[in-house]
Amino acid sequence: MKIPGGPDVGQQPAERSPFANGRIRGDSGCNTFSADVTVEQLTMDVGSISSTLRLCEGDVATTETLFMRALIGATALSFDEEGNLVLNGDGGDVQFVAGR
Write down all domains in the chain, each with its CATH number in brackets. 19-96 (2.40.128.270)
- At residue 52, the pLDDT reads 93
Residue 84 to residue 40: CA distance in whole angstroms: 18
Burial 35-47 (b: 16+ CB within 10 A, else e): bebeeeeeebebe
Q: Which residues of the chain have pLDDT under 50?
A: 11-15
Backbone angles phi, psi at 36, to 5 degrees: -70, 145
Length of the chain: 100
pLDDT confidence of residue 13 = 46
